[in-house]
Amino acid sequence: MASLKLEHIYKVYPNGHKAVTDFNMDIKDGEFIVFVGPSGCGKSTTLRMIAGLEDISTGELYIGDTLVNDMQPKDRDIAMVFQNYALYPHMTVYENMAFGLTLRKVPRTEIHEKVMWAADVLGLKEYLDRKPKAMSGGQRQRVSLGRAILRNPKVMLLDEPLSNLDAKLRGQMRSMISKLHQQLKTTFIYVTHDQVEAMTLGTRVVVMKLGRVQQIDSPQNLYDHPVNKFVAGFIGTPQMNFFNVRLKEEKDHVDVIWKDCEQPALRLSKDQVLKAEKKFLTGEKDIILGFRCEHVSAEEEELAKGDNIVDVTISHFEELGNETLIYGDLKEIEKLGEESTTGIIIKAPSKMGHVAGDVIKARINVEKINLFDAETEITIIPPVPERNVLPVSIKNEKMDLFGEQTKPASIPVDFLENGTIALPLDATQVCEKGSVEGKVVLVEKQGEITLAMVEVKGKKLFLKVEEGVKAGDKVKFTVDYSRATFRDEKDAVVAEPLKDRDCINATFVNYKTAEEVTKDPSFAKMKDEKVAKVKAEYEEKRKAFEAEKERALKEAQEKQNAVNASVAEREAALAKEKEETKKQLAEAKAQYRKDVKEAKAKHAQIMKEEMAKIDAQYKKMKDEEKADYKEFMMKNKDPESRRSRRTSYSVFKESFPAMKASDVEKRTNSLDFEKETELNGLKARYSQLVALSKDKLKEDERKFKEECYPLETTTKEYEKKTKAFDKEEQDALRRAELLFFFKYDEFYQLLPDDITNKIIQGMGERVFTKIFRIEVPHDGFEEKEGALEFKVVSLVNFGDVKLYKCAGTMYGEKVNVYINQERDIALGEVIHLAPIVEKTQIYEDERNIRLY
Amino acid sequence: MAKVQVSKRFMDKSQRVLAYVILSVISIIWLFPFFYLILQSFADIQNPLYNTKSIIPNIWTFNNYKALFTDSRVPFIRWWLNTLIIAFFTALLQTILVLMTSYALSRLRFKGRQGLMKLILILGMFPGFLGMLVIYYILELLGLNTSIYSLILVYTASSAMSYYVAKGFFDTIPKSLDEAVMIDGGTKNTVFWRIIIPLSKPIIIYTILVSFTGPWGDFMFGKYIIQTAQIQPTGYTVAVGLQGLTTMATNELYGAFCAGAVLVSIPITALFFWLQRYYVEGIAGGAVKG
């Protein structure tokens, strides 16, 4: 059992095609994760990358706390179930399941126990001696599951395991997998294109499209709150109903107007669109309205509620037995022509006496609707809004946002009337020092985030708050105006936010190049220091190792002295045991041969009897038909019926041999299966016996050697250990000589090993020829001697946030960076800055990938 | 109604008869030389009363077979053993090489794989005897031209080129089996020896048969090396030795040639009958969906 962490995982093929783009996810221990999406969306590729069957182009994959990018599949402690089962056809079910453990040299008794356990869990006990070809699809997939679970892996990977099964079996297997997950409590990752499987199995579902993650959420949340139109349309059968609409905010409600219509069709309460930005509610933006078929109703009691009623022309029905889907078109938009989509699906208990062509009334439950921006197809009412958009006015160095206040000097806007300010959710932080105070109106929990709507002087905004905050509480928060976007009344941007990161370019160089180019002796010193440190470390370790070796050898010598007297006696005992085992095995072999002979004879006898039975049966059938025909011909004189009888008799005669042959073949096949299964069983038990006694003998021999010649064994053991230790030391020393730097203009910065590894792994041999874009956050600079030279130009004051603007020159061009420093710096001072690499983000633009 | 049925049945039957007639004629043309060879091996053509015009001999004898084992000019047993040794070792080495090459080309992805496959295809189109002269010189340089056993090297050298059939077979074994092995804890070696090979019995048999019959019946390379290096008759292969019998001044050993030709076919037939029980189809059934 283990958790998984996928960080910025990309799969880029040599032809440049990106199968997976920037996949990020934390999977908790014991979760059941389902990857779902249409074909070609990268779900299987992601799974195969986790399995190690496909290389990860860039990014990092952790299973537990171990980075497994470069690990072989067999070392990752995972198990996988394939869509096409991938059973070994020449092995029996037992051998198939045991194969993995055999390769891992698990003791035979333990393997046997585990196979029996897995067979018991999956109901396969009676099939253990069969070969895959003698089993049905469902049984084969159970074997495949068994093979996976008996290793008790950290992670179970299932690649569309039910796709090859028929619908009924799929249902059964689904509940079996679900039960298995509950029983094993292992982390499951399951790939499917079937959204029913995704919804029923997953604790969390990852919806993917074209290599990108669309949404990661619980099945219910995916269903109720899809983040975009794709997810809304993909999840749920039948598909969600979509219509093009506009939204217009009125005094106490919001009107939904069909696109190109005048009259409002539906009415929403204002609470429903609280999280929507105001620009969507002006009646000018195109919106996609989505609702599910169960949220439209044509039933009397719903219609009686009176509001949000539409006319639908029925086109056809789909009767599903327990319910009926009514397909129709919205009458109001139908009139408009072909431009808009008009199709609507309504779930009803029955046809309710309607026929195709009828116009009926239906009520839309507007509380359950989804709204998407038609341009981006992203929801306009997200569970957690990305930003707050509030009205703002600026005049005479005053800003009217949360009441009138002095405009922070750094806001580059002098005059704004009826404008808006957009603040990312993170730009407002609740804390004691906050300069703005508001009253909590309502609190809701969205996953791990507690979200509060806070009212400040008549304006409502959402804040992330700590758990425990209640409606009615007062909270203080800070506002980071450096991240605000100001727009005027026509929605044109008047001030962009300051970027949260500054970009600088760098190249990747190794120690030799740096030394060669700069002729700076400090590089050599740097290397020597690193090597010296490793050397010292290993000297220490070697001392400990040698001491341990000496002690072990001394102990072994003592043991040897004590045991010498009894060696001869034990040797004799061992020889005797060998002799006995040999005898036993010979007996077992004879018995096995006898059993096989008997079984073969038995089956030959059965076969003979069965064939005789079939012969007799068909002979009887033939005779009866012949007699019947003769009798008919004798008694009947009507030419028409005589002719028809003659034809039917000749048809019988012609098809008779084929009928018999097919019966014979069927019987032979099933008898052959039985025979093969029995022989397989005999063979399996015999080889199990042989292997067990051989194992025992081997183990006894090993014990004898270890106990009677402890000195020899220990010496050998330590020879091996010494070799391994030497190799480890050499490797460490070789690694210590590898030093890599980022070269910013003329400044070389030593890179820590983990970041170096990531960059080299992501770029391969091209690493030295590319330019990297380093994005440094404002607090990601440190002052360092000899680093990049900057002059502090100004102090930028955004109210709660103060940044120093520094100007410098890099690669012959002017560069500005904003830094957030603890100490006070005088304006005009020249400082030397170096990025703190751990805090930066590293990109390579040519392939458009993030490396760190 | 009934009439139509009858005429259709009649048509079917007549078509079948026609097909069998054509097939019979073709098989007679094909099998007649073998048949005639067997008859000739029992014919006493040295007898003055022998009727050379008759297909079925009028005087029967075992002398031709006897001559093979008794006549000092015909060291048939030596030829037979020489050929058997050459064919056995060639078959052994060639089978291993072909299977390994096929596995590599079917399962591993390496730079130049496609190019290599095309190159081998093109090289295979050149008749082998074009290189005979050069091959002889290479053998001479290596000092291997004095023995007929150098043929093992010659035949084995190019064996990997006949990877096509086996590769085609390996391609049909699902790749997910390899992946299952990798996850179960195996390596590429495990895949080859414990999955691919047990599943490939038919193709292994085929490869053994093909690589055995090639050297067993080859005449050209053997003749060339023997003639150029002037190897003694005891060092001949069957094909070269028997051919020598027909080019003698008199035709007194013609009957022995026919008898030898019949005996040559025995190992191949035996090999086939011994191996054919493994030559079962559908061994891969049940691996994956189906």
pTM metric for this prediction:
0.78
Instruction: Kindly state the DSSP code that residue A799 receives in the 8-state scheme.
Output: B
Which among B185, B186, B288 is the nearest to A84, CB-wise? B288
Q: Which residues of chain A have pLDDT under 70?
A: 1, 334-340, 799-800
Which among A86, A99, A132 is the nearest to B174, CB-wise? A86
C-beta atoms of A133 and B190 within 8 A: no
Give me the pLDDT at residue A357, please. Answer: 86
User: CA B87 to CA B75: how far, in whole Å?
Assistant: 18
Give me the pLDDT at residue B4, please. Answer: 54
* Predicted-complex ipTM score: 0.77
Give me the pLDDT at residue A799, please. Answer: 67
Sort residue A42 into left (φ over 0), alpha (ψ -120 to 50) or beta. Answer: left
> Does the pLDDT at position B288 exceed 70?
no
C-beta atoms of B288 and A85 within 8 A: yes
pLDDT class for B282, splitting at 50, 70, 90?
A: very low
Give the nearest chain A residue to B176 (CA atoms): A86
Q: How deeply is B143 buried, as exposed, middle or buried, from its count of CB atoms within 10 A (0-12, 13-18, 19+)?
A: exposed
Which among B186, B190, B287 is the nearest to A132, CB-wise? B287
Work out the angle at residue B51's Cα, subtended by the Cα atoms of residues B49 and B57, and round it to the nearest 5 degrees.
105
Give me the pLDDT at residue A738, please. Answer: 81
**Nearest CA-CA distance, residue B209 and chain A, Å:** 23
Rounded to a whole number of angstroms, the distance between the first and last alpha carbons of chain B is: 42
Give the nearest chain B residue to A149 (CA atoms): B184
C-beta atoms of B286 and A88 within 8 A: no
Please report the DSSP string for B186-244 in residue order: --HHHIIIIIIHHHTHHHHHHHHHHHHHHHHH--HHHHHHHHHHT--GGG--HHHHHHH
Which among A86, A132, A134 is the nearest to B180, CB-wise? A86
Work out the angle at residue A44's Cα, subtended by the Cα atoms of residues A38 and A47, and round it to the nearest 5 degrees.
140
C-beta atoms of B179 and A53 within 8 A: yes
pLDDT class for B17, splitting at 50, 70, 90?
A: very high
Tell me the β-bridge partners of A61. Answer: A6
* CB-based contacts of A122, cutoff 8 Å, min separation 6: A142, A143, A145, A146, A149, A176
Instruction: Kindly state the DSSP code that residue A271 receives in the 8-state scheme.
Output: G
Which among A79, A131, A140 is the nearest to B183, CB-wise? A79
The lowest-confidence range among A340-344, A530-534, B248-252, B284-288 is B284-288
Q: Count contacts between A and B (CB, < 8 Å).
A: 83
Contact B43, B61 (CB under 8 A): yes
Give me the pLDDT at residue B1, please. Answer: 46
Give me the pLDDT at residue A231, please. Answer: 92
C-beta atoms of B190 and A134 within 8 A: no
User: CA A792 to CA A795: how far, in whole Å?
Assistant: 8
Backbone angles phi, psi at A715, to 5 degrees: -60, -45
Which amino acid, one-letter code, is at A308? Answer: N
B23-60 pLDDT, tens digit each: 999 999 999 988 888 888 888 877 777 777 777 887 78
Give the nearest chain A residue to B190 (CA atoms): A103
C-beta atoms of B174 and A84 within 8 A: yes
Which among A74, A88, A137 is the nearest to B183, CB-wise? A74
Give me the pLDDT at residue B289, please. Answer: 40
Task: Please state which of the four CATH numbers 3.90.550.10, 1.10.3720.10, 3.30.160.270, 3.90.1150.10 is assigned to the domain occupying B73-289.
Answer: 1.10.3720.10
Give me the pLDDT at residue B244, please. Answer: 81
Rg (CA), chain B: 25
Helices of type H across A274-382: 300-303, 331-334
Sort residue B131 into left (φ over 0), alpha (ψ -120 to 50) or beta. Answer: alpha
* CB-based contacts of B191, cutoff 8 Å, min separation 6: B107, B177, B178, B181, B182
Q: How deeply is A197 buried, as exposed, middle or buried, from its count of CB atoms within 10 A (0-12, 13-18, 19+)?
A: buried
Interface list for chain A against chain B, based on CB atoms closer than 8 Å:
51-53, 72-74, 78-80, 82-90, 99-100, 103-104, 131-135, 137, 140, 147, 164, 643, 647
Section B156-173 average pLDDT: 86
User: CA B177 to CA A138: how far, in whole Å?
Assistant: 18
Which residue do the tokens 């990161």 mark? A501
CA A805 to chain centre: 42
Give me the pLDDT at residue A93, please. Answer: 93
Give me the pLDDT at residue A460, please. Answer: 81
Which among A73, A89, A147 is the nearest to B286, CB-wise? A89
Contact A744, A504 (CB under 8 A): yes
Share of chain B above pLDDT 90, in %: 20
* CB-based contacts of A256, cutoff 8 Å, min separation 6: A245, A246, A247, A264, A265, A266, A267, A268, A289, A366
Give which of B183, B199, B200, B203 to mutate to test A binding, by max A Cβ within 10 Å.
Answer: B183
Contact A614, A663 (CB under 8 A): yes
Give me the pLDDT at residue A411, please. Answer: 76
Total length of chain B? 290
Cis-peptide, bond into residue A383, ω within 30° of zero: no
User: CA A49 to CA A521: how far, in whole Å?
Assistant: 44
Give me the pLDDT at residue A773, please. Answer: 87
Q: B-chain residues within 8 Å CB-CB of A100?
A: 183-185
Share of chain B above pLDDT 70, in %: 93
Contact A147, A104 (CB under 8 A): no
User: CA A125 to CA A138: how far, in whole Å?
Assistant: 15
Backbone angles phi, psi at A586, to 5 degrees: -60, -45
> How many C-beta atoms lie closer than 10 Å to residue B135's C-beta?
21
Please report the sign of the dihedral spanned by the C-alpha atoms of residue A427, residue A433, residue A436, residue A438: positive
> Does the pLDDT at position B89 exceed 50?
yes
User: CA A497 to CA A778: how far, in whole Å?
Assistant: 14
Q: How deeply is B253 buried, as exposed, middle or buried, from its count of CB atoms within 10 A (0-12, 13-18, 19+)?
A: buried
| Domain boundaries of chain B, sorted by first residue | 2-63, 73-289
* CB-based contacts of A457, cutoff 8 Å, min separation 6: A402, A403
Axis-axis angle for helices A521-563, A710-736 (nearest 10): 170
Tell me the β-bridge partners of A389. Answer: A422
Four-point Cα dihedral A655, A657, A663, A666, nearest 10: -110
Section B197-212 average pLDDT: 86
C-beta atoms of A85 and B2 within 8 A: no
Please state, rounded to an integer, the average pLDDT across all residues of chain B: 83
What's the token pair of residue A137?
Answer: 């699809």
C-beta atoms of A88 and B190 within 8 A: no
C-beta atoms of B179 and A86 within 8 A: yes
Please report the DSSP string for A639-703 in residue order: HHHHHHHHHHHHHHHHHHHHHHHHHHHHHHHHHHHHHHHHHHHHHHHHHHHHHHHHHHHHHHHHH
What's the token pair of residue A297?
Answer: 């109703």
> How many C-beta atoms lie closer than 10 Å to residue B281's C-beta?
7
User: CA B214 to CA B86: how far, in whole Å?
Assistant: 10
β strands within A466-570, DSSP E: 474-479, 485-487, 493-495, 501-510
B100-135 pLDDT, tens digit each: 999 999 988 888 999 999 998 888 888 777 788 888
User: CA A215 to CA A231: how far, in whole Å?
Assistant: 8
C-beta atoms of B183 and A51 within 8 A: yes
User: CA A401 to CA A414: how far, in whole Å?
Assistant: 14
Question: A747: closest CA among A835, A821, A816?
Answer: A835
C-beta atoms of A86 and B286 within 8 A: no
User: CA A166 to CA B110: how far, in whole Å?
Assistant: 39
Please report the sign of the dihedral spanned by the C-alpha atoms of residue B242, residue B244, residue B247, residue B252: negative
User: CA A177 to CA A161: how far, in whole Å?
Assistant: 10
Please report the DSSP string for B27-53 in residue order: HHHHHHHHHHHHHHHTB-TTSTT--TT
* Domains assigned to chain A: 4-229 (3.40.50.300), 239-373 (2.40.50.100), 402-495 (2.40.50.140), 540-718 (no CATH), 751-850 (2.40.50.140)
C-beta atoms of A84 and B289 within 8 A: yes
Which residue do the tokens 């006496």 mark? A353
Instruction: Kindly state the DSSP code that residue A251 receives in the 8-state scheme.
Output: S
A137-181 pLDDT, tens digit each: 889 999 999 999 988 899 999 999 998 888 888 888 999 999 999
Interface list for chain B against chain A, based on CB atoms closer than 8 Å:
2, 174, 176-177, 179-186, 190, 195, 198-199, 283-289
User: CA A609 to CA A587: how far, in whole Å?
Assistant: 33
Question: A348: closest CA among A326, A327, A317?
Answer: A326
C-beta atoms of A85 and B289 within 8 A: yes
Q: A-chain residues within 8 Å CB-CB of B184?
A: 74, 99-100, 103, 147
Which among A52, A100, A131 is the nearest to B286, CB-wise? A131
